[in-house]
Chain A
Amino acid sequence: MHVLIVEDEKSLHQEVRQFLTQAQYLVDSAYTRAEASEKIFVNGYDFVLLDLGLPDGDGLSLLREAKENERQEASFIILTARGALDDRIKGLDLGADDYLPKPFSLLELLSRMQAITRRKFGLKRQEIPFGRGFQLDVTGRVLRHEGQEVTLTKKEFDLLHYLLLHKNRVLTRLQLGEHLWGNVLEDDSDSNYIDVHIKNIRKKLGQYAPTDFLETVRGIGYRVAEAG
């Protein structure tokens, strides 16, 4: 997967680049609108991560320009700190595939990119096998153990899914909470909702098979550890 990061803020650019490189993406960089325009024209990308406030022009015009090119197959994700409402509407109208307001979580960015990839390649029935005999049916939103359905609440399902998407990474309660609650502004960051959810997931899954794949990392968060 080939990604172009269009972002003039160098530190942020480097962090995103480092993260995506570790996640096995092939990353290209552009710091100005002109540079981005040229790279998009010359190279074929799967993803363009587009910051709207570029020093030499508006990111939205770049999106418009790119979308006029019919050979263009890149998916655009808009990253902006402007947070103005009309930008978002304009962005989605112009064919941006997703929109992440800054500050965003890199994990969230990664899972959005994975979701776009799945949509693009029409992976209809996506199932994630894990543990001993568990299957998470993402499209049907059902968890099965050897064909038998395990009942989870919506949030428990989302939480398990997110942990499975980021296998072998430690996810902090904050990162998990932000994924579950999205942009809802809350400042009880110490809430133990996540812990209760994990406890329930362990209890429900534990009736079918051991849940030792779901690890607690003391003081930090949780991780699904699996070989392969």
Chain B
Amino acid sequence: MRLEAKLALFNALSKLLLVLLGAVVIPPVVSRVAVAHTDQRLHEKMGEVLALVKRDGISAFVREEHSEAYADYNLLKQEYITLTPVASLPAGRPDAVRIFNEQRQVDNEIEDFRILGYTLPSQNPRTYHLEIGSSLATVELLTDTLRHMALWVLVIGAALTILTDAAFAHYLLRPLRQLIANKLRGVHHPSAFPYAPIQTDTTDFRRLDESLNEMMRKVQSAFEKEREFMSNVSHELLTPVSILQSRFENMLQDPELGHAHSLKIVDSQKTLYRLRNTVKTLLLIANIENEQYLREDKVSLQSVLAEVTNELDDRLAQRDLALRLELRPDYVLPAANHALVFTLLFNLLSNAIKYNREGGSITVLGGPHGGGYRLSVADSGPGIAAENLPHLFDRFRRFNSGAASPEGYGLGLPIAKTIAEFHGAHLSVSSELGRGSTFFLDFT
């Protein structure tokens, strides 16, 4: 998961948590606030009523002789005020203000009210009880409104900050994205590395960029030194080999040369040939690993296999081997080196011929395999012992499997492996003693 996605996800999750917390906490708080607010208003009203009673006297509201109750309510019955004469002070605390919820009938309608009850201090000869009520429906309406508003503000705020945070993170991380896109992905070799600095004023990214450039410069310089070294080595080694080879050839042409010496020269020629092939193999592997080869051909496995079998027809016939070749379908490497792919397949097939029994068979199959393409080359030879399998692709390792076994495993397979890797393919082997070996070439 990308850093930016992680940041955005974390951000969204934390905001969501905040909203959820809000949804849980806000309603009780809001209703408490609403109730407190209502109570406060009831108290204020009581104060006003008491002030009026004090100014005008209780008689302004009730006629003492009639013992009538005073009642007043507003048009929509959201509030009411009553003054009721009572026989005596209620027991307990005489002049306590009580606030409670209860149903009251106002003008033939029963409704829930928040009620403030207060018994006025004794006004001889009667005692009066004051009640101020506020409709609970009103309180709840207020609570609902407040709750909704609070929640909306929270949600919209959260959504806005999620967006702005994501946008800012996106902007901040742009140099990192460029770094990854230009300098890490798609750079398979230092020669393809872009050294132009990334535009950023974030110190961390600039340091990262500079370190990458610095490291890549070192790697590239090492590569260049190696390339130069290989070039020199190939010149220094191949020139004397070339001289000796020419000299041996000239000596063999000499009519005065005796037979015994001729034999020695042929023998020396063989030794020289081996030296030459060793050097050339090392150079080939080094040059492939050092990206000295182009990958600019579209290469069809079918057609390269046709070329290879054309080259090897005689050997197949000489050893009386049956070749089965089936690619379903053909596979075309989009960017490959034709000569190298030829060498790779030639080595695999020539090994399958060399390490086979007279009258045996070779099966070359190709087809889709696990999301990629697999080419397998199976022989009916003696097979390879399990303990030797891990070393099969090692350079220049030979193992004893009897004097009769032909030489050559030492060079062909490491080359094949290197070429396979150069083309992003994987070369592997499975083998069973006495049944034969199968080499798998997996293209992805």
Chain A contact residues, CB within 8 Å of chain B? 9, 11-12, 15-16, 18-19, 22, 53, 81-85, 102-107, 153-156, 169-170, 172, 174-175, 181, 184-191, 193, 196-197, 217-221
Say yes or no: is B132 at the interface (Cβ < 8 Å to chain A): no
- Which residue of chain B has the shortest Cβ distance to A192 in the bound complex? B318
Among A81, A185, A189, A218, contact of B281 (Cβ-Cβ < 8 Å):
A185
**Which residues from B are CB-within-8-Å of A15?**
243, 246-247, 249-250
| Sample of 6 further A-B pairs with CB below 8 A, known A15-B249, A154-B314 | A9-B242, A103-B241, A103-B244, A174-B270, A185-B343, A218-B259
Q: List 9 A-B contacts (CB under 8 A).
A: A9-B242, A84-B287, A85-B294, A102-B241, A103-B241, A174-B273, A193-B314, A196-B318, A221-B266
Q: How far is the CA of A84 from the CA of B278 in the complex (A)?
A: 17
| CB of B435 within 8 Å of the partner chain | no
Stretch from B23-31, B139-147, B405-413 contacting the other chain: B405-413
The answer, yes or no, to whether B313 is at the interface (CB within 8 Å) is: yes
Given contacts A185-B280, A187-B277, A189-B274, contact A103 B408 (CB under 8 A): no
A82: B residues at CB distance < 8 A:
231, 234-235
| B293 touches A (CB below 8 Å) | yes
Q: Which of B244-288 contact A (CB under 8 A)?
A: 244-247, 249-250, 252-253, 259, 262-263, 266, 269-270, 273-274, 276-278, 280-281, 283-284, 287
Within 8 Å by CB of B252, from A102, A154, A170, A218, lies A170
A147 to B39, CA, bound (A): 128
Tell me, in angstroms, the Cα distance from A21 to B276 when the chains sit together. Answer: 26
Chain A residues near B287 (CB, 8 Å)?
Answer: 83-85
- Compute how far the CA of A190 lies from the CA of B404 in the bound complex, rounded to whole angstroms: 13
Tally of A-B Cβ pairs under 8 angstroms? 134
Q: Which residue of B lies closest to A195 (CB)?
A: B318
**Does any Cβ of A come within 8 Å of B292's Cβ?**
yes
Task: Give chain B's interface residues, CB within 8 Å of chain A.
Answer: 231, 234-235, 238-239, 241-247, 249-250, 252-253, 259, 262-263, 266, 269-270, 273-274, 276-278, 280-281, 283-284, 287, 292-294, 310-311, 313-315, 317-318, 343, 346, 350, 354, 406-408, 410-412, 415
Given contacts A15-B250, A172-B252, A185-B411, contact A219 B273 (CB under 8 A): no
Q: When A153-B313, A172-B266, A188-B407 are in contact, do A83 and B283 touch as well, CB less than 8 Å?
A: yes
Instruction: Give the chain B neighbours of A9 by CB distance below 8 A.
Output: 239, 242-243
- Select which of B252, B281, B317 is within 8 A of A220 by beta carbon: B252
Which of B249, B262, B293 lies in contact with A85, CB distance below 8 A? B293
Residue of B nearest to A221 (CB): B266
Q: Is the CB of A85 within 8 A of B314?
A: no
Bound form: Cα–Cα A60–B93 in Å: 119
A103 CB, min distance to chain B CBs, angstroms: 4
B270 touches A190 (CB 8 A): yes
- When the two chains form their complex, are residues B270 and A189 in contact, meaning their CB atoms are under 8 A apart? yes
Interface contact B292-A84, CB-CB below 8 Å: yes
Within the complex, what minimum Cβ distance (angstroms) separates A158 from chain B? 10
Min CB gap A79→B, angstroms: 8
Give every chain B residue within 8 A of A190 (Cβ-Cβ): 270, 407
Residue of A nearest to B415 (CB): A185
Shortest CB–CB separation between residue A80 and chain B, in angstroms? 9
In the complex, what residues of A have CB within 8 A of residue B314's CB?
Answer: 153-156, 193, 196-197
B239 near A102 with CB under 8 A, answer yes
The answer on a CB contact under 8 Å between B292 and A85 is: yes
Q: Beyond A19-B250, A170-B252, A221-B266, is A186–B408 a contact (Cβ under 8 Å)?
A: yes
Measured between beta carbons, the chain B residues less than 8 angstroms from A53 are 235
Q: Which residue of B lies closest to A10 (CB)?
A: B243
How far in angstroms is the closest Cβ of chain A from B136? Answer: 92
Contacts of A191 in B (CB 8 A): 406
Smallest Cβ-Cβ distance to A9: which chain B residue = B239
Pick the contact of B242: A102, A153, A169, A189 (CB < 8 A). A102
A187 touches B234 (CB 8 A): no
For the complex formed, measure the closest distance between the CB of A207 and the CB atoms of chain B, giving whole angstroms. 18
A84 and B243 form a contact (CB under 8 A): no
Contact status of A105 and B245, CB under 8 A, knowing A82-B234, A169-B253? yes
* Among all A-B residue pairs, the 7 with the closest Cβ atoms: A103-B242, A15-B246, A81-B238, A102-B242, A11-B243, A155-B314, A103-B245
Q: Quick check: B313 and A12 within 8 Å, CB to CB?
A: no
Please tell me if the beta carbons of A106 and B246 are within 8 angstroms of each other in the complex: yes
User: Given the interface contacts A187-B277, A220-B262, does A154 sit within 8 Å of B313 by beta carbon?
Assistant: yes
- The CB with the most chain B CB atoms within 10 A, among A83, A106, A107, A170, is that of A83
